[in-house]
Structure 1
Amino acid sequence: MAVRPISKDIVLSKAKSLNIPCYEQEAEKITECINVILRSYERLDEIVEVVPEVKYGRTCGHRPTTDQNPYNAWYYKCDIKGAATGKLSGKRVGIKDNTAVAGVPMMNGSKIMEGYVPEFDATVVTRVLDAGGHIVGKAACDDMCFDAGGFTNSIAPVLNPVDKRHLAGGSSSGCAALLAAGEVDLAVGGDQGGSIRIPAAWCGVVGLKPTYGLVPYTGAMAMLPCIDHLGPMTRNVSDCALLLEVLAGYDDGRDPRQIQDVSTQDYTAILSKDLTGMRIAVVEEGFHGAQQEVEQVVRNAALKLKDLGAVVESVRVPIHPDGFHIFTPLTMEGAYQTMMKDHGFPAGLRGTRFLSLLDEVAHRQTSRPFNFSEPLRLAMILGKHLMTTYKGRFYARAQNLVRLLTAEYNKVLESYDVMIMPTTLKTAPNVLLQDSSVAERLTAGSGLGRNTAPFNATGHPSLSVNAGHVGGGLPVGMMITGRHFDDATVLHVAYAFEHIRDNPTFTSI
């Protein structure tokens, strides 16, 4: 892209817009200096970049027919075979449609991005293929991932295979629905406020938001770097541990969310049905406002862990209800800054930028604003208002309070191995009708992340496992949260519970 020389009139205009005094004679000299600096920009566009290798052949695939997509859970179907052998050999894998697969369209659930085709594989995609996984398609998600209900995908809401009258949850809605329907064995989801765990809970599958930075985000569409997570979604805990082994690890500086010494473990080897010596904290504040049946199922599930040798005790974490309030400015103001102003690639952070994606986001968000979903419109309007009116003060205060929130959870985790609470406070709601009101569409996903979102802010590993079912057969998720980079213990507790739950004598309530 050619960088054109700047004129004195442009300098004066920009200075005025910035409220910076600039006089005629000064403007002439500034113009001369700027045009010298712009030579670096011209040279920059001439230097050949090192781009990630696309290692495995593929065709672009196809949009599924209605018969091939009974739950609206697919965006695109494809057929990409990885290495001949590996940990994921023989496994069918779905990739959330916020994550790039070279040559396969990526819509991110939104008409804004419809028609964009990345030329690169996200790091997690390459790792799946290197491990022998078979990528069979892109899973539908909420519009720009900016909702948790599973109904804002611009093609159609994602239906829950447990009961098609109910939503699958979001924003990794397609991943959870495809797993529950048996159409994939594994899926890679994304979580910025509960978007792996909420649909996992509602569809009765397993979803892990790993420790922040454990799984590289390189090649996925960002919402806000400090809350962005990719992670495994599966039908059982052992597969979740297996997929985490493949996904986790340092990405050679490509992802600014990672520190260099990312700590990984042999997650499958640590799984055990024995919880002797484990101490488990049931967080009382996590049950506030829960449906009575949801509370009963999760409390019963937690108490069952005593049968495997664990100590299970009730604890108080008074700050927990405020965790959602602390998280809210991050996602409103931070997402506005990242998605609208920085086009998904915030300034000031090292790491890989994919220029085709940046260019597409920058162009489409200005040329297609009428395609924004109603929840996304609300968030962008509010984010801009808060950032311009209060100059980022509340965002800054929220970031400061994240340290306090983290410290309070860590105090509990000094005495206990994991914390337990419901993933969501209610079971999957009914599908919104086409004639639903604006108010219904704006509020349908409101508050769903009250228990999940705080751990996006603090970065603790957090997993949803099916705790049982309530009347009508709808699943209830139990959320298990552990210490930073101790994802293995979270998986261990979930695996042990799964063993109890699958015993024929187990009852949910």
Structure 2
Amino acid sequence: MYIPAPTPQEILEISRNLGLGVSEEDAKSYAEVVATSVQDYETVAKIAAEAAPQSPVGREYTLPTASESNNGWHIHSHISEKSTGRLAGRSVVIKDSIPVAGLPMINGSNIFEGYVPEFDAEVVRRILGEGGVIAGKAHCEYLCFSGSSHTGVAGAIDNPWAEGFCAGGSSSGSAVIVARGEADMALGADQAGSIRMPASFSGLVGMKPTTGLVPYTGIAPLDASFDHVGPMTTTVEDNALLLSVIAGPDGIDPRQHGREPGDYDTAMAEGVKGLRIGVLGEGFTVPGSEPAVVERVRDAVDVLAKLGATVVDVSVPLHSRGFEIWTSIGWTGMTETVLKGNGFGISRDDFYPISMMEWARDHASGVSQAPPSVKLFFLISEYAKKHLGYVGYGNGINAARVLRRKYDEALENVDLLVMPTTPMTATPLPDRSITIDEELKTSHPMALNTAPFDVTHHPALTLPCGGVDGMPVGLMLVGKHYDEASLFRAAKAYEDTGEGAFRIA
């Protein structure tokens, strides 16, 4: 890591950019001191290299064939380290924003084409440590920036139930592969609903855990305030199993607070009798809500009531502003972390994946090929920052705390909140003739109920509750912080009735 000595002209340019007011006369003196000081970066780089993870050897992979269905697979593999453990022999596909040592990782974008991480994310290490088999990597949306499934550099990903329809994003490939039975389980990442939206559209169980329950260590982030990683499965029991494996502190992720996974098996055996479930009215009336979707979710609530749960109506008016709160954080956070922060950002006492950051730094110009929706997010962020600085982001974080308090107040009287996961079923994929204006409208309408709980940090689980016109409908349960057990308890009771099993009618 060599940094050449600066010229006085370079010092003056930096001064102009930062408004420091350095004179031409002083620039030479500053240049001499800076030249000495930057040598420390090389010294520190050598020290840090001693702690760099070593790439496992002997990991092989194959590329999917062009004829493989739905375009969900990025890489096929069969990585196994143990034959025993809670996941012994179970196959798990990994979203391609989550590093697996030795397997190419593109994170849905041209920027990372050619990058091969030399380290496993902590969640991958935990899966392998419990006997799981890494079956490969799943395509995701461009830098994980879309709730649709057409923005990834590898092309559109079709819904597993209907060709030409959206699979949901950004963990689109993960959803499709599990829904088609090509892997037992999957890991997704969720910043605005990117586990729950594709799970809803594809008929799966998907969990966004409480912020910090599962370590995000080593995973490509969007913003540290709302990054989550979690399981996507066909059954509630498998979801609870995979969460129990990947959850718990790792001593590195600064978002963690020492919380261990709950006793999910005991909770799932209890049934719902005695649970109080709040029907969040605002969650049923978000823009774009389809009456048939609302009806299916209300039918599911009726089933829970018949099983013995106490069901009451609750209201959190600020929920209707939840997506706006998310955007004030999200656009700036993603721009600073991904575009300006070498794909990882700063200001966290975290593990910094240097190879990933170097790759993002050296190939950042590739963002010129990003889809219009991604470019829009960057443009919104920079225009807002021009007028507000980072005050807009700060207001978003503070507003999220207000929203969190409103949900917590509602949860003082109930154990869970319930609403549709996505207000609609899977939408048609846009064709290539779509205008930029139309394309910009495809990435977020499905996130209106999911995104608020990323910034408030509540756990949220989706599971199928039937279908509409041959497409799955998702029921979302939201709980108190670190009370994933109650989500699994209600979800398992509902699943066991068979009422929600998605069937093509």
Q: Normalising by structure 2, report the TM-score.
A: 0.95
Write out per-residue CA displacement over residues 428-452 of structure 1, whole angstroms, 9 at most, x where no aligned residue: 0122223222222221223211000
Aligned 8 A contact 2:100 2:120 in 1:
yes
Match of 2:344 in 1: 345
Deviation at 1:63, TM superposition (A): 1.7
How large is the RMSD of aligned CA atoms in angstroms? 1.9
The residue identity in structure 2 corresponding to 1:311 is T
- Partner of residue 484 from structure 2, selected from 487, 494, 505: 487
Matched-pair contact (CA < 8 Å) for 2:140–2:152:
yes
Q: Which amino acid aligns with 1:270?
A: A
Q: What residue in structure 1 maps to residue 51 of structure 2?
A: 50
Q: Which runs of 5+ in 1 are unaligned?
A: none
Q: Which residue of the partner structure matches residue 430 of structure 2?
A: 432
Residues 142 and 151, structure 2, Cα contact 8 Å, conserved in 1: yes
Tell me if structure 1 keeps the 8 A contact 2:417–2:479: yes
Which structure 2 residues correspond to residues 213-252 of structure 1 after superposition, within 5 A? 213-252=212-251
Aligned partner of 2:393 in structure 1 is 395
Aligned to 1:380: 378
Tell whether the 8 Å contact from 2:53 to 2:118 is kept in structure 1 after alignment.
no
Retained in 2: the 8 A contact 1:301–1:508?
no
Which is further off, 163-172 or 415-424? 163-172
Find out whether 1:300 has 2:293 as its counterpart.
no
User: C-alpha distance in 2, partners of 1:365/1:28?
Assistant: 31
1:165, distance to aligned residue in structure 2 (A): 3.3
Match of 2:35 in 1: 35
Deviation per CA, 1:295-350, whole angstroms, max 9, x where unpaired?
A: 00001101211122110111111110011111111111111111111122222211
Matched with 1:17 is 17
Q: Is the 8 A contact 1:462 1:480 kept in 2?
A: yes
Aligned to 1:158: 157
Q: For structure 2, list consecutive stretches of 5 or more residues without a partner in the other structure.
A: none
| Matched position secondary structure for 1:126 | helix
8 A contact 1:467–1:501 mirrored in 2: no
Matched-pair contact (CA < 8 Å) for 1:201–1:464: yes
Structure 1 residue ranges, 4+ long, deviating more than 6 angstroms after superposition: 506-509
Q: CA deviation at 1:81?
A: 1.4
2:467 maps to which of 466, 469, 474: 469
CA distance in 1 between counterparts of 2:19 and 2:159 reads: 53
Per the alignment, residue 274 of structure 2 pairs with 277
Aligned equivalents of 2:225 and 2:9: distance in 1? 39
- Aligned match of 1:414 in 400, 412, 415? 412
Counterpart amino acid of residue 332 in structure 2: E
Deviations, residues 201-247 of structure 1 (Å, cap 9, x unaligned): 01111000000011111121111111111000000000000000111
Counterpart of 1:102?
Answer: 101
Taking structure 1 as the reference length, what is the TM-score of the superposition?
0.95
Paired amino acid for 2:224: P
2:450 equivalent to 1:452: yes
Contact kept? 2:276, 2:311, Cα under 8 Å: yes
Deviates more, 1:156-165 or 1:446-455: 156-165
Residue 371 and residue 507 in structure 1: after superposition, are their counterparts in 2 closer, same or farther (change >3 A)?
A: closer
1:31, CA displacement in angstroms? 2.8
- Preserved CA contact (<8 Å) 2:95 2:138: yes
**Amino acid across the alignment from 1:65:** T
Question: Match for 1:4: what amino acid?
Answer: P
Which of 21-30 and 205-214 deviates more?
Answer: 21-30
Whole-Å separation in 2 of the counterparts to 1:4 and 1:347: 23
Identity of aligned residues (%): 37
3-state SS of 2:198 partner: helix
Counterpart in the other structure of 2:358: 359
How many residue pairs are counted as aligned between the two chains? 502
| Deviation digits for residues 323-380 of structure 1 (CA, Å, limit 9, x no counterpart) | 11111111111111111111222222111111110011112122x1332111111111
SS in structure 1 at match of 2:283? helix
Determine helix, strand or coil for the equivalent of 2:493: helix
Cα 1:503–1:160 change in 2 (3 A) is closer
